[in-house]
Amino acid sequence: MSKVVVTGGAGFLGSHLCDALIALGNEVVCIDNFLSGSKDNIAHLMDNPRFTLIIADVSLPINEKLSGLSAIFHFASPASPNPASPVSYMAHPVETMLVNSIGSKYMLDLAVENNCQIILASTSEVYGDPEVHPQPETYLGNVSSIGPRSCYDESKRFMEALAFAYLRSKSAKIKVIRIFNTYGPRMMLDEGRFIPAIVDSYLHQKPFFMHGKGVATRSFCYVDDLIAGIMAVYRKGVEGEVINLGNPQEYSLVEVLDVLKEVTGRAIEVVYKEGLVDDPQRRKPDITKAKEMLDWSPTVSLPEGLRKMIESYSR
Ligand SMILES: NC(=O)c1ccc[n+]([C@@H]2O[C@H](COP(=O)([O-])OP(=O)(O)OC[C@H]3O[C@@H](n4cnc5c(N)ncnc54)[C@H](O)[C@@H]3O)[C@@H](O)[C@H]2O)c1
């Protein structure tokens, strides 16, 4: 049995990751301060003897001695870009910068101490508003260092740079994944990200506020596919690599609304508002590297994923 740490384990992705790791027979230590996550996401794990919850801010030193680890998954960080959401990184800009910088330092130190691999959850936001399309890992990005999204984008870029500094100076076993928009059950419907917001609007028959004209594109990955990709990263010897994980099927936001209508048989009411500052206009991962190195690619289409997500919330 392997012992692993998941920071941000009470969040959307972290909790699905805890489930997958437990299912594989691992002992999981989840560290979370519930800044943007929820106890509900891990309620089903609390009685499991192979699951431990430490309620703590990973930007501060952890009091517990964590030894005998075989892997660390550093996923703690707010992730919603919607300024209106109380759990977004714009609502917690300083905390976001600290968890991705100092929090990453503590987790990298822990990985070196345990001589174990560390998988760091980076993001497609490191590409900013991309001038290269689709985005391969070699693209260096087009990011504002001072705009409202910079607390997230630049701290994730710092996290990546720090991870590579640890690789070069301390031979840390780092694996960096750049996650593109992922959706599915356990997202908070009112957290402000696009897919939960339209699902919320459909389920509760309330207007959806579209920032901009809806022509910007995104590529949406269903959570089961992403978790399969992360587990492949965990299993394979891809230390020192940066790998994009996401679904390359690209849709404009308006097209996604059409897919939702097809799936549900009902259109939602859309209210158009001003576009957001520095909002990326195009977003699509180049996943050639993931296909080659991990033998992984997503299998769930957007209509199928939306159907699954709506079913889960209807239950
Ligand atoms: N979901 C996506 O589409 C997506 C895309 C790109 C990158 N990511 C990255 O994946 C990770 C998880 O994202 P998510 O969508 O599950 O977000 P989430 O907000 O649901 O989960 C993040 C978790 O981290 C916890 N957390 C935040 N700051 C913390 C701190 N200082 N100490 C301890 N816990 C803390 C939160 O309480 C929450 O449970 C994040 O690092 C995010 O940047 C997600």
The Å distance, Cα 288 to ligand 1 centre, comes to: 25
Give the CATH number for residue 80: 3.40.50.720
Residue-level pLDDT at 83: 85
Residue-level pLDDT at 279: 87
* Average pLDDT of span 303-307: 98
Any idea what the Cα angle at residue 79 is, between residues 73 and 82, rounded to 5°? 175
* φ, ψ of residue 205 in degrees (nearest 5): 45, 50
Of 36, 89, 120, which is best to mutate to test ligand 1, by the most ligand atoms within 8 angstroms of its C-beta? 36
Both tokens of residue 308? 């699954």
Pocket of ligand 1 (CB under 6 A): 7-8, 10-14, 31-37, 57-59, 75-79, 95, 99, 103, 121, 123, 179, 181-182
Query: What is this structure's pTM?
Result: 0.97
Q: Which atom from ligand 1 is nearest to the alpha carbon of 37?
A: 39
Quick one: pLDDT band at residue 16, thresholds 50, 70, 90? very high
- What is the per-residue pLDDT across 257-289, written as a single tens digit (0 to 9) for each? 999 999 999 999 999 999 988 888 999 999 999
For residues 196 and 191, what is the distance between their CA atoms, to the nearest angstrom? Answer: 7
Residue 169's Cβ-count burial label (10 Å; 0-12, 13-18, 19+) is exposed
Averaged confidence pLDDT in the chain? 96
* Strands of 241-245's sheet in order across: 51-55, 27-32, 3-7, 69-74, 117-123, 173-179, 241-245
**Rounded percentage of the chain residues whose pLDDT exceeds 90:** 94
Give the number of domains in the chain.
Answer: 1
152 is catalytic: yes
Domain range spanning residue 128? 3-314
Token pair 């910079």: residue: 150
The Å distance, Cα 259 to ligand 1 centre, comes to: 27
Residue of minimum CA distance from atom 12 in ligand 1:
75
Query: Is residue 233 pLDDT above 90, yes or no?
Result: yes
Of 77, 135, 153, which is best to mutate to test ligand 1, by the most ligand atoms within 8 angstroms of its C-beta? 77
Q: How far is CA 25 from the centre of its chain?
A: 23
Residue of minimum CA distance from atom 42 in ligand 1:
79
For residues 153 and 171, what is the distance between their CA atoms, to the nearest angstrom? Answer: 25
Q: Which atom from ligand 1 is nearest to the alpha carbon of 58?
A: 32
For residues 114 and 94, what is the distance between their CA atoms, to the nearest angstrom? Answer: 29
Whether 192 and 85 have beta carbons less than 8 Å apart is answered as: yes
Any idea what the Cα angle at residue 27 is, between residues 29 and 294, rounded to 5°? 95
The Å distance, Cα 295 to ligand 1 centre, comes to: 26
- What is the per-residue pLDDT across 203-216, written as a single tens digit (0 to 9) for each? 999 999 999 999 99
Q: How far is CA 250 from the centre of its chain?
A: 18
- What is the per-residue pLDDT across 35-94, written as a single tens digit (0 to 9) for each? 999 999 999 999 999 999 999 999 999 999 999 999 999 999 999 998 889 999 999 999
Q: How far is CA 194 from the centre of its chain?
A: 14
Residue-level pLDDT at 166: 99
